[in-house]
Amino acid sequence: MKHVHVGLVFLFLVSLVLVGCGNGNLSQPTNDENKTEGSFSGIIPVYTPGSGGINYIISAGLANILNNEQVIPGASFATEATNGTSEIVQYMSERHEQGRPAFGGIGSIGADQAFNGVLDPVPGEHDYLRGVGFLSYNALHLVVLEKSPIHSFKDLAGKRIGVAAIGTPPTELLEDLMEAHGVSKDNYQLLPLSSFTEIQEAILNGSVDAGYLMGAIPAPTVREIAQTEDVRIIPVEPSIMADFVAQQPYYSSVDIAAGTYKGQDEDISIGAFYSIYITHEKTDDEMVYKFLETIMENAEGLKEIHPTFDIVPETVVEGVTIPYHPGALQYFEDHGIEIQQ
């Protein structure tokens, strides 16, 4: 079982470039896009979930580095925020059909489901998707009021749980954790709310018995509610998580040191899911190699963009369950990095 150990961090943003909107079409490249062996001219999208998230922030910083250093001469990397997993897969499908390169920062479970044809909103096997490497993690803080009788996942049987949306990686992680802890889907109620702010409010006013708040540790949404009211975070059972992670390697567990959040007096562990960079099989090998090389050679700069950035040789292969792109495999081979698939 893998644990991610993190300290207190402070988020700060850099100037980000958001290209494209609506139907996801990027601005048309200058002249036409031409791909010859080892070269490309035009816009290369990097699709991510919403613009306020870790994946977008890191990807926007990476795009700036790629462009400033002209890693791919004649190409311009552009980070595009989307509505999430299904939209990213749809756009990747379109780029694959067109034979045009693209990258995406996506939850590993979503990439796995799409590849294997079980991502319901985007039917069919998307077996053209390829892994590039680890991007980030997102931890599921299951929060209750301090006075709540709920102390474990088993105590959530028959309860109402506030979630951001059904069918998203955080909610699927919650459902899988509930099942692993012996609580079946028909024995609790998920209440979809439109934002983490609404989940915070629902916890405080009692319209839900528990709710999840997501984020790398320390999650700002958890800190906010802990300043307003006495709350607790429901931990996972470490003995359960060993098999849980082994069977579903797109998930992990995260240790939270005592004192990280107000009122948290003990070390606890919670569930998390990985996000990874993906591309498709028609993206040029050299482009993928240079994309990955730029990440690894600019680790300190990317950490300044988002302090939770933790991509090093030991972590870059975490969470990838779909086949790697040949360009990524070549990079790993050249640098002695052992893949874990």
Q: Using one digit for the tens of pLDDT, what is the confidence trace for 212-231?
A: 999 889 999 999 999 999 99
What DSSP state is assigned to residue 31? S
Check residues 280 and 120 and name the one with the higher pLDDT: 280
pTM higher than 0.85 for the full model? no
* CA distance readout (Å), 187 to 106, 150, 161, 190: 30, 15, 11, 10
Q: What domains are defined for the chain? A: 3-137+275-334 (3.40.190.10), 138-273 (3.40.190.10)
**What is the pLDDT confidence band of residue 36, given thresholds at 50, 70 and 90?**
very low
Instruction: Write the pLDDT tens digit of every residue in 153-174.
Output: 999 999 999 998 888 889 999 9
Mean pLDDT confidence for 79-96: 96
Q: Which of 55-64, 183-192, 308-317 has the lowest mean pLDDT?
A: 308-317
What was the pLDDT predicted at 19? 38
**What is the pLDDT confidence band of residue 341, given thresholds at 50, 70 and 90?**
low
333: left (phi over 0), alpha (psi -120 to 50) or beta: alpha
Helical ranges in 45-137 per DSSP H: 54-68, 85-98, 108-115
Contact present, 170 and 273 (Cβ < 8 Å):
yes
Q: Is the pLDDT of residue 8 over 50?
A: no
Both tokens of 232, joined, read 């607790």
Q: Is the pLDDT of residue 34 over 70?
A: no
Q: What are phi and psi of 43, to 5 degrees?
A: -90, 135
* CA distance readout (Å), 149 to 145, 159, 205, 232: 9, 11, 16, 11
Q: Is the pLDDT of residue 16 over 90?
A: no
What does pLDDT average to over the chain?
88
For residues 235 and 172, give the distance between their C-alpha atoms in angstroms, rounded to a whole number. 17
